[in-house]
Amino acid sequence: DLPPIDGDFYQLDLKLSEEQRELQLKVRNFMEDEVRPLVNDHWNRAKFPFEIIEKFKKLNITGVPYEGYGCPNLPFLMEGIIAQEIARVDVSISTFFGVHSGLAMGSIYLCGSEEQKEEWLPKMQRLETIGAFGLTEPNVGSGAAGGLETTCRWDGEHWVLNGQKKWIGNATFADVIIIWARDEDSNQVKGFLVKKDNPGFKAEKMEDKMALRIVQNALITLNDCKVPESDRLQKAESFRDTAKVLKMTRAGVAWQAVGCARGAYESALKYTKKREQFGRPIASYQLIQNHLVEMIANLTSMQTLCFRLSELQDQGLLKDEHASLAKVYTSMRMRDVVSRAREVMGGNGILLEYDVARFVADAEAIYSYEGTKEINSLIVGRAITGYSAFVN
Ligand code: FAD
């Protein structure tokens, strides 16, 4: 008998309690049974499978680490494990989920008033209301901390928002979009809960993406978009508060990278055991085994790092540089794993039906979003040297 296909080489799953392991398997089975059959076709057509939202509701895994408001209040480790399980099957679905549960709900959880949390979080937890997170702009990506061009202005009755946001996941159908804008008076960044039916809000689907094709990214235009003071995130005073959200979600993205690498590794390993050339399975050849060993070594180092990252988060010790280091390291290793997975599959490595091609493409989005390699490296570099090298 051949050994099982399993991307958990150091048995890190044994660190989970029985209930945690049960939840992990529940998510894995859901992803295998309900999501895997849909994803290649939807990815190909750049369509979002809306029917899975109903099914996701039953899993009760939204807002996992938050306390109150109907959220499960499980350790951050479980949020990471769940991100890994979802991304192991499809990175787009894990991005949809991360944007809603992490970026949008997290902004309200960390920066909202008690009333705002009561109003939004329970229905978002139940996935009755879907969220998006709008920070990036056509001219401002990495430099969002200092240079947002989208502005807000108090006209005596409302906040008036003007500008554009680019790449905003879920925003073509989300009910509420967190918009980050620079106050024309104080120059500080503020956050707003913008509802999709606001007359000054327009979201247009971005077409022709070569990664995460299932995710519905939008170009948002805010044209004198009026928002009441009650929909301004009351605890978002400056970009420092936005950064608190990003610190939390970057840890989730590191786990997503693990899931993406694991999915590709497991598909590739299975393939190499079945595929025969020169009369033997290609897995029996030394050069193929070298690729597989490099892949499992990368994957294992990513997983162990992320376990510790989540422990730091659960102990309240997580710093920006911890999350950034994990994001940089896992996204680099992920790229290596998916490209080796694609390589050992020969021509089939570029066919959608074998899954790995999708992971190769989607890895490129993980590599760039939630802070590029350079930006997260600069955050770590600043922490370890004491010098900020963001600008010359
Ligand atoms: P730029 O900032 O223009 O960077 C270009 C290059 O210059 C990069 O290599 C960068 O690292 C480098 N660079 C920039 N500054 C420096 C410097 N100081 N030193 C050295 N190198 C530097 N944003 C949202 O707000 N919400 C979303 O839901 C969302 N979803 C996304 C989904 C996808 C699929 C993608 C691709 C992006 C998404 N984004 C989202 C945007 C994402 O966060 C940005 O793409 C990212 O922050 C990089 O910004 P940019 O693309 O404008 O690149």
Dihedral of CA atoms 16, 18, 19, 23 in degrees, nearest 10, equals 70
The residue to mutate among 166, 368, 377, having the most atoms of ligand 1 within 8 angstroms of its beta carbon, is 368
Q: How far apart are CA 302 and CA 208, in angstroms?
A: 31
Q: Please name the residue whose Cα sits nearest to atom 20 of ligand 1.
A: 374
Beta bridge partners of 133: 178
Ligand 1, CB cutoff 6 Å, lining residues:
99, 133-136, 141-142, 167-169, 211-212, 217, 365, 368-372, 374-375, 390
Residue 209 alpha carbon, nearest atom of ligand 1: 34
368 CA distance to ligand 1 middle (Å): 6
145 CA distance to ligand 1 middle (Å): 12
DSSP 34: I
Give the number of other Cβ atoms within 10 Å of residue 41's Cβ.
13
Summarize the confidence of residues 323-339 as an average pLDDT: 98
Share of the chain above pLDDT 90, in %: 97
* Nearby residues of 293 by Cβ (< 8 Å), 6 or more positions away: none
Q: How far apart are CA 42 and CA 34, in angstroms?
A: 13
Give the number of other Cβ atoms within 10 Å of residue 86's Cβ.
28
Which pair of structure tokens corresponds to residue 281?
């399975």
What would the pLDDT profile of 245-288 be if each residue is shown by its tens digit? 999 999 999 999 999 999 999 999 999 999 999 999 999 999 99
* Nearby residues of 76 by Cβ (< 8 Å), 6 or more positions away: 65, 251, 310, 313, 314
125 CA distance to ligand 1 middle (Å): 28
User: Can you spell out the DSSP letters for 156-220?
Assistant: SSSEEEEEEEEEEETTTT-SEEEEEEEETTT--EEEEEEETT-TTEEEEEPP--SS-TTS-EEEE
Indicate if the pLDDT at residue 159 is higher than 90.
yes
Summarize the confidence of residues 3-28 as an average pLDDT: 94
pLDDT band at 4 (very low <50, low <70, confident <90, very high): confident
Strands 176-183 and 151-154, bridge-based pairing:
parallel
For the chain, the first-to-last Cα distance in angstroms comes to 59
Give the start-end residues of each E strand in the chain.
131-134, 151-154, 159-169, 176-183, 189-195, 201-205, 217-227, 276-277, 280-281
Give the pLDDT of residue 147.
87
R_g (Cα) of the chain, nearest Å: 21
pLDDT band at 240 (very low <50, low <70, confident <90, very high): very high
- Its pTM stands at 0.97
Is the Cα dihedral 276, 361, 92, 207 positive or negative? negative
Residue 364 alpha carbon, nearest atom of ligand 1: 36
Which pair of structure tokens corresponds to residue 88?
């192991």
pLDDT band at 6 (very low <50, low <70, confident <90, very high): very high
Residue 136 alpha carbon, nearest atom of ligand 1: 25
Residue 142 alpha carbon, nearest atom of ligand 1: 2
Indicate if the pLDDT at residue 1 is higher than 80.
no
301 CA distance to ligand 1 middle (Å): 26
What would the pLDDT profile of 39-88 be if each residue is shown by its tens digit? 999 999 999 999 999 999 999 999 999 999 999 999 999 999 999 999 99
205 CA distance to ligand 1 middle (Å): 18
Q: Please name the residue whose Cα sits nearest to atom 17 of ligand 1.
A: 390
Q: How far apart are CA 102 and CA 114, in angstroms?
A: 18
pLDDT band at 91 (very low <50, low <70, confident <90, very high): very high
The residue to mutate among 97, 103, 135, 136, having the most atoms of ligand 1 within 8 angstroms of its beta carbon, is 136
| DSSP percent split of the chain into helix, strand, coil, nearest 5 | 55, 15, 30
Q: How far apart are CA 5 and CA 354, in angstroms?
A: 16
Average pLDDT of the chain, as a whole number: 97
Dihedral of CA atoms 358, 131, 237, 251 in degrees, nearest 10, equals -40
